[in-house]
Amino acid sequence: MPAATRTVLSVATTAATATTRSATSAAAATAASPPARRILSGIQPTGVPHLGNFLGALRQWVQLQDQPAQSVVYSIVDLHALTAHPPVPPTTLRDSIHNSARVLLALGIDPKKSILFQQSQVPAHTQLQWVLTCVTSVGWLNRMTQWKTKAGSSPADTAPPAALKMGLFAYPVLQAADILIYRATHVPVGEDQHQHLELARDIAKVFNTNYKINLFPMPQAVSTSAKRIMSLTDPTAKMSKSHANPKSRIDLTDSDTQITKKIRGAVTDSDASVTWDPEHRPGVANLLSLYAACRDLDPASLPEGELKGVVGMANLKQKVAECVVDTVRPVRDEYLRLGGEEAYVREVLEEGNARARAEADATWEMVMKAVGMK
């Protein structure tokens, strides 16, 4: 990030109190009359994101912050990370929070255009969660697909009931609080999160009805044209940072050599032609999707477009590797550079935490008055 950007965020210690008061006043005004379009999204600090994360949600974050007439809030949701089983070691979580901030800055999140903060440093999230829990039906939470999967109510059962924790059951309510505490109007969501956004709307509606106040807007999904990026070793499964085989994904910290080697080893088939046929040739379709996502193209057009004349899987993989390397290299280089600027990264988070607290506290004040606690 340019030095000018870093300098803008510097706040003298002697001015901290005045800055906080100013932020609180501004937040109160914003809460009373929120922007017509406020976007909220979050990422769990579970390691460095992979290329699928970037080409899906995270690149969209950067695009959204550059659109005029809207407010953008991005959170590193470390409270949600506590639902992991087995628990994340404290040192690992601490490092992951810092590294998540580094990678978001490296991707292009601009703290002058967005509020970038650490969820646990804003107490109003969990304060609102309790109030919302008190208006949330157990039946709603029981119907959450992810909970049903973990609880053994679906064929994809992954854990015995005795091992399940209350945090996993109730975390959709915390997600709703994450959204509603900023009175967000729009939320970028993946395919597996639409149900949770619907729950947030249901909770907001019940709260507004119960307390006869139009406090929370009904948050809408932000649609995306991004294609799902699949595993390099199993093109029928989504690319995942939790997969045991590192060859299945391209991490944003991978070197040019590592990226090229992984793509050369990607699963395809024995047909030398390059065609778009996701149903019968998922491996080839995945490579075309990678290339298309990096270049913002339609993958179906590539065999007769930019990749016309490419024959053989080795040649296709070379083209895709070159494209991916060009996409990842600037992000990786900036991420590594920010590794030497720990104080700056901490400052960005501290400033974002203060701004987020001020906005969230203003909403929490209205909630307390609405329910009669103040």
Return the active site residues. 150, 238, 241
Q: Are 124 and 361 in contact (CB under 8 A)?
A: yes
Q: Are 31 and 366 in contact (CB under 8 A)?
A: yes
The encoded tokens of residue 230 equal 């699949």
Nearest to 35 by CA among 255, 183, 234: 183
The encoded tokens of residue 36 equal 């017509």
Residue 73, SS3 per DSSP: strand
Residue 283 one-letter amino acid: G
Contacts of 165 (CB under 8 A, 6+ apart): 83, 85
Q: Are 347 and 10 in contact (CB under 8 A)?
A: yes
Nearest to 110 by CA among 77, 64, 51, 44: 64
Cα separation, 81 vs 117, in Å, equals 15
Residue 131, SS3 per DSSP: helix
Q: What would the 3-class secondary structure string for 149-189 be?
A: HHHCCCCCCCCCHHHCCHHHHHHHHHHHHHHHCCCCCEEEC
Cα separation, 94 vs 365, in Å, equals 30
Q: Are 252 and 328 in contact (CB under 8 A)?
A: yes
CB atoms within 10 A of CB 298: 13
Q: What is the DSSP letter of 223?
A: P
